[in-house]
Amino acid sequence: MPHIQQLSPHVADLIAAGEVVERPASVVKELLENAIDAGAQSVTVEMKNGGMTYLRVSDDGCGIAPSELPTAFLRHATSKLRTAEDLAAIGTLGFRGEALAAISSVSRLDIFSRERGALSGAKLHLEGGVPGTVEDAGCPEGTSIIVRDLFYNTPARLKFMKRDSAEATAIAGLVAHLALSHPEVSFKLIKDGTQTLLTPGDGALRSAIYASLGREFTLSLLEVKGADGDMGVTGFVTSPIASRGTRGMQTFFVNGRLVKSQLLTAALEEAYSNRMMKGKFPGCVLLVELPRDMVDVNVHPAKTIVKFVGEKRVFDLVYHAVMAALDKREEAERPQPKPASQVQNPRGDFFANMTSQQYRESRKTAEKPAYTPAGARPVSAPQSAPVKPSPAPQWQTRVPAIDTQSGGKAALSDYVRHETPASAPVLSAQQSQPVEKSVHSVENHDDEVVTLPMPEEDARPVVTGPIIGPAAETAAEPEPEAPAVPVFAPAKQEEPEIEQTTFVPPSAAPWRIAGEVLDTYIVCEDEDKNVWLIDKHAAHERVNFDRMKANQEPLMCQALLAPLVAEFAAEEYSALAANLELLREFGFECEEFGGGSLILRAIPADIDSGDAIPALEELADKLVTAHTVDPAAARDALLHTMACKAAIKGGWKSDLSELRVLVDKVQSGEVQFCPHGRPVKAKLTKYELEKMFKRA
């Protein structure tokens, strides 16, 4: 049996470093928290190769005295705690005194620091946790720490690191989220010599959100503000229509600390329970302020997991504040009726100062019919003067000669015209004559007049005399009917041939489609008298997914006439920009457009342009959360989204032939689950159905 012995300080430091420093983003987090605790107003983060070979964090905080530089890198050395009572009410982001010691033990580290008001600063170099000699150095006020060759002395940890692009994405997301907790601090991120993030540091949370998470996210925000005694919550949540496929855009801070809390997540999503689709999640930036003795942050070395005293009060605080913001939005969008005093009378002030005599005169005027035919104008002539009738309108149309040898029969419909005068004439019985029942056939006669036959029951008089004016129309015919208008068309006209593009023969399967329920579920009966309910959207989604996945070639893309510009959060943008070649294989032709945005010049052919950006957002979420970028897994994730977007939606009307194809595939066993794992069909046996009606 091996003997028990104490580990060497070096081995102990490496073990402790494994708890605090998991990846380059962990280093950035600890150094940024120290900078904020030091009272910095401006912080710069610079990284190269995902932070594995070079990381620099500079601030303009209070600085460190030269004599205290070696002490700062000892384990459990801190300026933020003194007694055990201080541990129960922590008001700073850092307090354990382990970060600098852990970072220096697994890297080559240089620190430059100068106190405020000091004439010069100091420099210290450490390698593997072993400090060198403190030297004088010229540097600005504040502290700058440079970390090189992270995990150079722990190969076991180094081999588990992700690609540089993935580590850079994690750092970008961390800096963006920490910038939200302290909008009064200006954060700058430089990646491989290019500035990718800059917050204004003006103290406005919305400004920090705009710089960190993008314009589109900011435009969908609703302000949240709530309080309960000594507890309070402020921030923003997204409107219900701006939902996301993951929880990646949910950010919570407790007393200025970035945390992960299932309690806060549950309170947020409970407020959206009746306002958002299932499987969608809201975004938020919520800052919760609690008494220090109500929060325990000493749960994990990473300090991202916290415990609350009085969880019910904290839940209710967040829930009711978010509910109030959502209710306020709905109230603002609801149309408000005008007060009765503001409703205008469409007649104006007609009866305000009217006498009885004026009212009777107005009634006489209103009772007189005012009819003016189209195109008529007043005529002043003696009553005895005879009125010369106007010439009758001609109801015949000249048909140009048609070349029947070159397909004139098919093109004759282009020459058919229906002509009706502005005012239809009304004829007396003496002035009308029945329509001819003979038809002149159209051959190669130039400008021949063609008259169509009419059925006897639909025969109408044809105009042969002058138009009778409106004054005589009631006397001429008690019950006038619209005059017939001859339509000029060929004597013989064959039906055009309609090409049948698709034909689905009646299914020979032993089942029968009974119909649809809610335009979503297909109802069918099999030969064993079982009733099946089939989700047509889920079935069609699976059919699309299998078809797309069977094609191993790069996805077909369609060029956009007008390119689309999509804005993303810093973390999502970094993930997409690092995988442009992968996106190209998936049919997305993207280019970096600056300012956290991509320009799309082509999209996959199987989705509409309106679904392109949401599909790209879902893909970005998966790239951010994936431990490694597996092209096959990423392709499947994209195909899931594309299959869903291209499938029949619930509530859409469907043709019987479409339903028959879907039922064929489901009943044959080809389709059992949708790509997301949901069942496609449900069975109701004859016994179960009869049991409902007390027959069994």
Integer Cα distance of 243 and 204 in angstroms: 24
Asked whether residue 164 falls in the same domain as residue 308, the answer is: no
Q: Where residue 414 falls among pLDDT bands split at 50, 70, 90?
A: very low
Q: Where residue 171 falls among pLDDT bands split at 50, 70, 90?
A: very high
Answer whether residue 504 is part of any domain: no
The CA distances from residue 566 to 114, 231, 241, in Å, are: 43, 38, 18
Averaged pLDDT, 583-598: 83
| CATH code for the domain of 29 | 3.30.565.10
Integer Cα distance of 538 and 679 in angstroms: 8
Q: Determine the 3-state secondary structure of 531 from DSSP.
A: strand
Contacts of 445 (CB under 8 A, 6+ apart): 401
Name the DSSP class of 377.
-
Asked whether residue 193 falls in the same domain as residue 234, the answer is: no
pLDDT on residue 509: 58
Asked whether residue 251 falls in the same domain as residue 157, the answer is: no
pLDDT on residue 488: 47
pLDDT on residue 399: 44
Asked whether residue 169 falls in the same domain as residue 231, the answer is: no
Say yes or no to pLDDT of 694 above 90: no
Say yes or no to pLDDT of 663 above 50: yes
Say yes or no to pLDDT of 174 above 60: yes
Say yes or no to pLDDT of 376 above 90: no
pLDDT on residue 382: 46
650, 556 Cβ separation under 8 angstroms: no
Averaged pLDDT, 259-288: 89
Look at 623 and 440; give whichever has higher pLDDT: 623
Asked whether residue 181 falls in the same domain as residue 324, the answer is: no
Averaged pLDDT, 528-546: 82
Mean pLDDT, the chain, integer = 75
Answer whether residue 570 is part of any domain: yes
Answer whether residue 459 is part of any domain: no
Structurally, how many domains does the chain consist of?
3
Say yes or no to pLDDT of 278 above 60: yes
151, 158 Cβ separation under 8 angstroms: yes
Average the pLDDT over each of 43-47, 347-351, 367-371, 468-472 and give the range with the smallest value: 468-472
Asked whether residue 619 falls in the same domain as residue 538, the answer is: yes
pLDDT on residue 428: 44
Q: Where residue 443 falls among pLDDT bands split at 50, 70, 90?
A: very low
Answer whether residue 614 is part of any domain: yes
The CA distances from residue 371 to 49, 375, 468, 474, in Å, are: 85, 12, 15, 13
pLDDT on residue 44: 96
| CATH code for the domain of 258 | 3.30.230.10
Answer whether residue 460 is part of any domain: no
User: Residue 539 is part of which domain span?
Assistant: 511-682
pLDDT in tens, 10-57: 777 777 666 678 889 999 999 999 999 999 999 999 999 999 999 999
pLDDT on residue 338: 53
Asked whether residue 136 falls in the same domain as residue 68, the answer is: yes
Answer whether residue 521 is part of any domain: yes
Other beta carbons within 10 Å of 359: 11
Asked whether residue 265 falls in the same domain as residue 171, the answer is: no
Answer whether residue 120 is part of any domain: yes
Asked whether residue 564 falls in the same domain as residue 657, the answer is: yes
pLDDT in tens, 203-235: 999 999 999 888 888 988 999 999 998 999 999
Of 684, 654, 692, 695, whose CA–CA distance to 524 is shortest? 684
Q: Where residue 122 falls among pLDDT bands split at 50, 70, 90?
A: very high
Integer Cα distance of 195 and 175 in angstroms: 13
